[in-house]
Amino acid sequence: MSTYTDSAAAPVERVKHGLAAGDVVPPSPDWTIDQGWENYTAEEHGVWKTLYERQTKLLPGRACDAYVEGMRDLPMGPDEIPDFRKLSETLMRKTGWQIVAVPGLVPDDVFFEHLANRRFPAGNFIRKPHELDYLEEPDVFHDVFGHVPMLMNKVFADYIQAYGAGGLRAHKLGTLKNLARVYWYTVEFGLVQQSDGLRIYGAGIASSYTESIFSLDDASPNRIRFDLERVMRTNYRIDDFQEVYFVLNNLDELLELDRIDFAPLYARIQSQPELQPGDILPVDEVLHRGTGAYHGAKKA
C-alpha cells in the first residue's frame, strides 16, 4: 500500500538528467568552476538544511547499507552546504574520488571524461525554496546528498569510474542512449535486495522525499530483477516517478558490468524493439508486478 500523500497533490521531486545544455558558454575547458562556498547565502544554507533534515529522517530502513556507511564517514551535516574541498579530502583517501564543481549539466563527453578520472561533477547551485519538489537540473543537494555517499563504497566507486570509461566508448560507438539507460536504472534509480529488505542505492531516489517512499512502498511500479540487456533496451521517464525499478541482488553485481564487453550487446539490441518503462517481458524475473495506478491515473 502506498503510504505517501496523494501524488496528485504532492508535486513530484525530480531531478532532470536531460542532455547537456547546448546554449551555455563553457566556464572552462572541462566545465569546472570554483564552488564559491564562501558566497552561499543563509537562505541557500537554509534550503540545504530543510532538504537534509527531511531526507535524513526518512532514509533509515530505506537507504542501503553502503549509502548509510558512506554518509556516516563524510563531513556533511544539516547546517550548511558542504564544502567540496572537504568532501574531496575524505573521498580521495577512501576511494580516490574527488568532487569538482560545475554550473549545471555538462556535455556528455565532458561528463564521462570526469567520471573516467574519478572526478564527480557536482552542481554548485541549490534549488530555490519554491523548487523543493521539482528541479530541472541536478543541484548540489541531488549531487552531493544523493550521489556522494555511494562514492565512498569501493565497489560502487570502481563501477562509476568504469562507467565513465564506458561512456567515452559508447560516445564513440554512437550507443550512448543504451548506456545512459544502464546509468539511469542503477546509479540514479537503482534498488538492491538486502537480507533485511529492499533498499535504495540510486541517487535520484535518495535525494527525493516522495520517490524514496514511492519506489519501495507503492504498489504502482514494477520491480524487476536487474538484467543488463533488458535495461539497455528500456526507455525511462525524466520528469516523473519511474514506472519500473530494477533490483540488484547485491552491489557486487555492478562489477560484472565492467567485465562484459558491451559492444556485441549494443549491436544485438539495435535490431530489437525499444521497451517502454511499463513493459513486462515473459523472461523478466518480476519481483513485484505493479498496478500502474500512479501513471494510469496521471494519463487519465
Ligand X SMILES: N[C@@H](Cc1ccccc1)C(=O)O
Interacting residues toward ligand H4B by CB under 6 A: 17, 20, 102, 105-106, 108, 111, 121, 138, 180
To the query of whether residue 142 is one of the catalytic residues in this protein, the response is yes
User: Shortest Cβ contact with ligand X: which residue?
Assistant: 166
Closer by beta carbon to Fe ion, 203 or else 205: 203
Handedness of CA 254, 273, 241, 246 (dihedral sign): negative
Q: With respect to ligand X, which residue has the nearer C-beta, 179 or 191?
A: 179
Helix 154-173 vs helix 108-116: crossing angle, to nearest 10: 140
Q: Which residues bind ligand X (CB under 6 A)?
A: 159, 162-163, 166, 169, 182, 257-258, 260-262
User: Could you tell which of ligand X, Fe ion, ligand H4B, none binds residue 152, using a CB distance below 5 to 8 A set by kind?
Assistant: none
Closest separation between CB of residue 45 and Fe ion, Å?
A: 22
The CB-of-174 to ligand X minimum distance in angstroms stands at 13
**Smallest distance, ligand H4B to C-beta of residue 106, A:** 4
Which residue, 40 or 145, has its beta carbon nearer to Fe ion? 145
Residue 163 binds which of Fe ion, ligand H4B, ligand X, none (CB < 5-8 A, kind-dependent): ligand X
Distance CA 184, CA 241 (A): 12
For residue 247, what are the β-bridge partners? 191, 225
Contact 79, 44 (CB under 8 A): no
In the range 122-141, which residues lie near Fe ion by CB under 5 A? 138
Q: How far apart are CA 176 and CA 182, in angstroms?
A: 10
Per CB under 5 A, contacts with Fe ion among 177-236 are: 203
Min dist CB 178 to ligand X, Å, is: 10
DSSP symbol at 23: S
Smallest distance, Å, CB 187 to ligand X? Answer: 9
Closest CA to 257 of 238, 235, 232, 233: 232
Q: Classify burial at 68, counting beta carbons within 10 Å of its beta carbon; exposed 0-12, middle 13-18, buried 19 or more.
A: middle
Catalytic member of 17, 142, 208, 295: 142
From CA 293, how far away is CA 221, in angstroms rounded? 8
- Torsion angle defined by CA atoms of residues 157, 159, 160 and 161, in that order, rounded to the nearest 10 degrees: 90
Identify the helix (H) or strand (E) that includes residue 27.
none
Active-site residue identified among 13, 188, 211, 243: 188
Is 220 labeled as catalytic in the residue annotation? no
Is 147 a catalytic site residue? yes
* 108 touches 177 (CB < 8 A): no
> Active-site residue numbers?
142, 147, 188, 207
